Amino acid sequence: MIASLTHLPQPKATNAELGEHFTDLAPALNARQAAIESSRCLYCYDAPCTRICPSEIDVASFIRNIHEKNVNGAAAGILKQNILGGSCSRVCPTEILCEDACVRNHDAEGQPVKIGLLQRYAIDNMRFAEHPFQRAASTGKKIAVVGGGPAGLSCAHRLAMLGNDVVVYEAREKAGGLNEYGIAKYKLTEDFAHKEVEFLLAIGGIEVRHGQKLGDNVQLKDLHAQYDAVFLGLGLGASRRLGLTGEDAPGLLAAVDYIAELRQADDLSKLPVPKRAVVIGAGNTAIDMAVQIQRLGAEEVTLVYRRGFDDMSATHHEQEIAKANQVRMRTWAQPQQVLLDGDGRVCGMRFEHTALDGKRLVGTGVTFDIPADAVFKAIGQSMDEASLSDAMAATMDREAGKIHVDSHYRTSVPGIYAGGDCVAPGQDLTVQAVQHGKLAALAIHQDILSKVEAA
């Protein structure tokens, strides 16, 4: 149990009853539904859905395969471009990407093809006699990948496909990164994230070492000396602070820490659940946190953001999910003070109304209090500086607090590459992290071959 919340009660419902609250957000298509939906696709030449897909999946092609009942062909086409296509079909914000670009979205019908659900259908129903990808002849080269999240796993898989041996250094007990620890339980249900990792590793040539943390028991300078190349898929491991007195009091916690506990819980009825909760933030993590704590039995959940709805990084689709789950949403308010009871525990949060002065956000001086037994902050993640604490890591160029890379994901240190949420610029999307890892692997492989040829 999370130490900061041990004083809170547990849910009144049983584990089985709570489990019913964390079934699929969007139920999977059956064969007939997939056939009907795939027939709606116009299979556009130079399809806009493909052009906007961060991982360059040929959307029209895989949908045509589904229509022609070639599910394995559809799945292979997806996985060739995005080895984590199963999880991306569940968590990718298709409403602002492929489905938004779909020409059906802009005709008289006004309903895009359900691309995300069709992608899920293909992956969930593929039946290969053997792994669909085979390794190339061995290059004799060995690459270190730091971080077993979407970027690191994608990079490792592509490098293995190209004939390289890979060692993944992962700090946690399970690989998968945010897919395993940070996505709402109703988006990636049961142990899907784990099964997807097992499928990825089945290509061979990839060793995963757990409990290996950069800046702690692993140093970048050592990896650089031992391997032919190093890829950093570090993610953003540190939660930003509010900068307020009382931030470390019992009852105040980073949303990602609670979500991780929730995703790994064997018994949901043992989780601490506040009667009243406040979530601070405006992104998907804030929405995920607010909805999940509501589904666990909290009576009153309030999400607070310092600007307006249109400025929230969570899509309107995500905002509607929060509203449908009775989450109260307060905008134009910023945290000013953590309120504590006589025992030093959180009992609420004081906020100040905000307004725009031109383009600048300012406080109005008018405050209000929201009573709460727990406050969850979801105000963004940043680089864990301890992971880049050795002398070699310190020499890497940084941009906006992230690692600077060139168009081939090379850092300023030769032989070291990076991708995913830890690099700038980025959208912090799973699908983008997968693409970074894939493209970085191609660059690493090409750079290694170039050195061999030059020698």
**CATH class of the domain at 239-380:** alpha beta
The domains of the chain are located at: 26-124, 142-236+383-454, 239-380
Complete DSSP assignment for 333-351: EEEEEEEE-TTS-EEEEEE
Task: Tell me which CATH code domain 26-124 carries.
Answer: 1.10.1060.10
Domains 142-236+383-454 and 239-380 share a fold: yes
Q: Which of 98, 124, 123, 132 is nearest to 112 (CA)?
A: 98
Stretches in the chain below the pLDDT threshold 70: 1, 426-427, 453-455
Per-residue pLDDT at 388: 85
Does pTM top 0.75 for this prediction? yes
Could you identify the residue written with the tokens 């990636």?
188
Are 276 and 375 in contact by the 8 Å Cβ rule? The answer is no
Q: Which of 324, 276, 340 is nearest to 304 (CA)?
A: 276
Per-residue pLDDT at 455: 57
Per-residue pLDDT at 396: 93
The neighbouring-strand residues paired with 145 are: 168, 231
Are 288 and 183 in contact by the 8 Å Cβ rule? The answer is yes
Strand order in the sheet with 402-404: 398-399, 402-404, 423-424
Per-residue pLDDT at 119: 98
CB atoms within 10 A of CB 304: 23
Could you identify the residue written with the tokens 């556009």?
44
Could you identify the residue written with the tokens 């030059």?
454
Task: Tell me which CATH code domain 142-236+383-454 carries.
Answer: 3.50.50.60
